Amino acid sequence: MLQAPRLERHRPRAHSDEAELKFRTSQAEHASLRNRLREQGATMVGAYDEENIRFRPVRGQQVTLRLRILDGGPAGILTVKGRARFHRRVKIREETEVEVADARIARELLELLGHRVAVTYHKHRETWRIAGIDVTLDTLDFGSFCEVEGPLEEIEALARRLGLDPKRALKSSYSDLAKAHAS
């Protein structure tokens, strides 16, 4: 089982719709965003390192599997994501997450079931929370990003208050960006 501090930093979600805006930023913009978040009354929830392993769909499945290992494991989070749909620039996907006590064994089970790794990428994530909305400042090998995730009807307004233009939101997933970076 994950330790309590880790759970606070990343809370697995039961089946729900995830609505998010993702922005390419810089480390300097991360510093500005931190200041704006504090000014808006956000609380820093935590920071951690992740290893993200995305698996290829099996037999035409319309879902994506991701195994996320937090701070080197051994525990992790297994996530199933449905197809992305968009409302303006907001990406919406069905998502279900479950904790796994041993990510290495979970990966072995998935591979025995025929799932093959499509891409692996590492991320440092800092999470802030304000009024039920999570704002993450992410640093990956291929750049810095900010995600604003929460209720569909509220995330665009918060993004604007933080100085982020929803029209600039990326549609690409981190997996797509990692694959593009690797080629």
Provide mean pLDDT across the span 60-80. Answer: 93
Number of domains in the chain: 1
The helix or strand, by DSSP H or E, that contains position 81, with its residue range, turns out to be strand 76-81
Predicted local confidence at residue 17, as pLDDT: 86
Tens of pLDDT, residues 72-111: 999 999 999 999 999 989 999 999 999 999 999 999 999 9
Non-local CB neighbours of 148 within 8 Å, separated by 6+ positions: 20, 21, 23, 133, 134, 135, 155, 158, 159, 162, 164
Structure-block tokens of residue 77: 């989070």
Predicted local confidence at residue 57, as pLDDT: 82
Is a pLDDT exceeding 90 seen at residue 42?
yes
pTM of the model: 0.88
CA quadruple 106, 128, 151, 6: dihedral, nearest 10:
30
Predicted local confidence at residue 118, as pLDDT: 94
CATH number of 18's domain: 2.40.320.10
Q: Which residues constitute the domain of residue 52? A: 4-182
Instruction: Return the minimum-mean-pLDDT range out of 31-45, 136-150, 169-183.
Output: 169-183
